[in-house]
Amino acid sequence: MASLGPSTAASATVRFATETDVPTILALIHELAAYEKASSSVLATESSLLNTLSFPPSPTSSLAPKPGFARTLLIFPATSANASENENECAGLALYFHNYSTWRASPGIYLEDLFVRPKFRGRGYGKRLLGELALETKRVGGERLEWSVLKWNEPSLKFYESLGARRMEGWVGMRVDDLKGTGEGGQGGEEGGELEKLGRWGRGVEWR
């Protein structure tokens, strides 16, 4: 088996985020946005994350997971002899949700965000998080793990390709935003965002 990294990524702790981790998740989102030169695009707040993410109960709870639209894996470094490092400091995250392939009639996982803080890079933590997602994909009977990468981010593209990922050159990503004028891709005017405009073609779906 190939080495996971010089800092024993195999002994790092990976766990599902809980509601108490929301401040950390938001901080990591801001750090990722800064790296991608898109800090002004972040509209997430602790409240909106609490309302939309799925969180498992504590290990001692018999309650079902809190329903939401995405889950988050957090990775924490193994106990280090380096006094400047805190083993309770989160090193990175993988935020994902389930999708579906009609051609394969099987579920899959879409990785929305993968981020490892700069001070923890080069230790195999990114590989560890992707490895856990691959196992989760297989656990739910899935056959595909996918994500998007900015075209200019050549270091990340090469890293993912080294793990067996391939570029989907024949596909073009499409998006309709509901942001008005500013933010991530927002092109809307006073009448509302593009998602709202597109919704005017809808008439409501019947449940039977």
Give Dmax (Cα) for the chain.
Answer: 62
- Assess whether 160 carries a catalytic annotation: yes
The DSSP string of 29-62 is HHHHHHHTT-GGG----HHHHHHHB-BPPPTT--
**Contact, 188 vs 179, CB < 8 A?**
yes
Q: What is the arrangement of strands in the sheet containing 13-16, beginning at the earlier edge strand?
A: 13-16, 71-76, 92-101, 106-116, 145-147
Closest to 73 measured CA to CA, from 96, 103, 44: 96
- The catalytic residues are 160
